Structure formats: C-alpha cells, structure tokens
Copies of this chain bind each other. A is one copy, B any other.
Amino acid sequence: MALFSTIPSYENSALLRNPNIGIDKSPRPRTSNGSLRLISLKIMATHTQVADSSSVQPLLTKPLEITQLPIFQFDEYLSMKAKKVEKALNEAVPLQYPKKIHRAMRYSLLAGGKRVRPVLCLASCELVGGDQSLAIPTACAVEMIHTMSLIHDDLPCMDNDDLRRGKPTNHKAFGEETAILAGDALLSLAFEHIAAKTTKVVSPERVVRAIAELGSAVGSSGLVAGQIVDVLSEGKEVTLEELEYIHVHKTAKLLEASVVCGAIIGGGNEGEVERMRKYARCIGLLFQVVDDILDVTKSSEELGKTAGKDLASDKATYPKLMGIEGAKNFAAKLAAQAIEELAHFDAAGAAPLYCLANYIAHRQT
C-alpha cells in the first residue's frame, strides 16, 4: 500500500509539458525499410484530445530538446490501433443466439471507449519485439474485463449509475439480471479468448503466464479488492494509504496487466517484463488520479457520464485528500516516473508508450 506516496521528485520530463508545443502534421519521414526515422528533435506527441491540457499542471514552460526520439504521430497511431481492437472485439462477440445476452455484451463492449488498455497491451507487445497480431486476443480480453467491471460497477446496488459513455448504463438498457450475466459472460470470455485465440506462434507457457497475470489483476487481490474497499469506504474517513489501495487495485492492476501481458505474449524477457510492470504501475495510478480530477473539473456532458458523483456520494478522491493542485502535481510526478522506466528501452519502440503516458495524463474525458 501507499506505493506511490514517497515517489521521488522528477520534474524534467518533456512529456509533462503542454503537448501542443511542436505539433508536426507533416508525413512521417521513414527509412527505406519503412521504419520510423530517428532524429534529434522535440517530442511530437500530437493529438487533438490534449488540446486543453489544463487538467494537469505543466511542469515546464519551455520545451526540452531530446535526442534520439522519433517523429511520432500519436493521433494516427492511437486511431489505427483502436480500429484494430474495435474490429477484433466486434468479431469476438457475434450477435448470436441467445441474442439478448450478446446484444447486452456488445452494447457495452462496442460503446466506443478510449481503448487505452488494449492499445497499451499492443504497444507493450511491440516494444519487446512481438508482432501486434500475437497480442490481439489478449488486448480484447483486457477490454472485455474492463467492460465487465464497468457494467457491474454501475449496478443499482453498487454505484447506481444511469449514464456511461454518454449512453444509458447496461442495466438501464437491458435490465439488472441481463447486465449481471453480460458481465459474467465477458469475464469468462476474456480468459477463454486468450486461451482459444492466441496464435500457436506464441508458446503456451507464455499464454498460461498471461492468463495467470490477468486473473490476479481481476480477482480478490485485484480489481474486485479495489471495488469492495471502495464500496466499504463510502461515507467514511479514508486515509491516503487506503485511497491508494483502492485505486491501485481498482484501476492500476488491470492497466498493469494489460502492459505486462502484452510484454509476456510479445516475447519479452524477465527484465523487460518487470520494467514494463513498473511503467504500468505509474500510469495505472495516474489514470485514476486524472479520473478523480476530471470528476470535479468537468461537466457530465463533457465526460459522457455523471460528473461530480464521487463528491456527491462522499467517496474518497485525490482532489478531496490533496486539493486539486496537489492532485495535479501528483499526476505529473507519476507521469514522470513512468517515462523514466521507458528510458531503458529503444526510443523509437517506446514512443507509443511515452505518448500513452502523456495521453493518460492529459486526457479530458
């Protein structure tokens, strides 16, 4: 617990500055074999989603000169990967008999989320040298599990939410019993999908390892542990330690598993897998800190879900415990630490994960 309370100060990160500096919309320069050209330049993390980066305080006012980083069109990358995931998810849950359950599963699974987890999984797979096709079933699995957790979390006896991603929540659209079953089916399908659909190119040892890793991120030592402590903490005084326990388990563990499973399936060695784990732990907690900040700074319309819920339900949040500015500073430190872990990898390969950390830090929904 309190994994990140004593995080070291690390304030020279280029990716924590306003990402609008140095936008490059020109075609990507490529070497003759089509790989990205490595040049000395400012980081070109450019995506429309971060047009307003006010939610996280920029640490630097002047951009840093970084050597050996590729020109990298993050917008294009994210959209390309998300499209791949979307297609795979659509195929993974066909609208077959019994139609009601498959309709309910597809309703939430294909509701156009940000696909951060599956993209992290694919990026991690590629960073350690694997082809992304190897990790597509695992990427789908983490999104299925994430969707399951949202469906069950929204239920009347849990968060009792009516709105999710701008649409009625699953139980509002299909009824409680179908929502519970749709979640169960997605959770089960996640594991089945990795086991049944991962190409034989990946050694079964690695498939088994990935399943064990993912399982530990979901069960009573992972996601569910975070959810139960969260539910039990409502209306009570919560310490920073307890808050971190909730978020590390409720959010960070699955993000961590997404990244780690990608590295396992992609053929990463022990050192690489553990390095990716550290990166993922930082962005996992970062994700939740930003979520908490958005909950108090954005409207329901902007978020596509009920804003201010955490405050209204007297839930523990970072802004409540640290103040908005304190929470923003903490987010910046987490992003910096995540980026530090990536310094040990090839810069071109790590570019998507640099940008993903930045994207998570600066997202507006």
Chain A contact residues, CB within 8 Å of chain B: 93, 97-98, 100-102, 105, 148, 152, 155, 157-158, 175-178, 180-181, 183-185, 187-189, 191-196, 203-205, 207-209, 211-212, 214-216, 218-220, 222-225, 227-229, 231-232
Contacts and interface: CB of A to CB of B under 8 A. Distances in A.
A107 to B, nearest CB: 13
A204 B208 contact: yes
- Count of chain copies: 2
Nearest to A149: B184
A255 B93 CA distance: 24
Contacts of A220: 93, 98, 101-102, 105, 185, 189
Q: Which interface residue of A158, A203, A212 has the most chain B CB atoms within 10 A?
A: A212
A215 B189 contact: yes
Given A157-B177, A191-B211, A208-B208, 4 more contacts: A158-B177, A189-B220, A192-B214, A208-B211
A103 B196 CA distance: 33
A211 B192 contact: yes
A183 B184 contact: yes
Contact of A195 (B189, B211, B227, B229): B211
Given A177-B157, A185-B224, A187-B187, A98 B215 contact: no
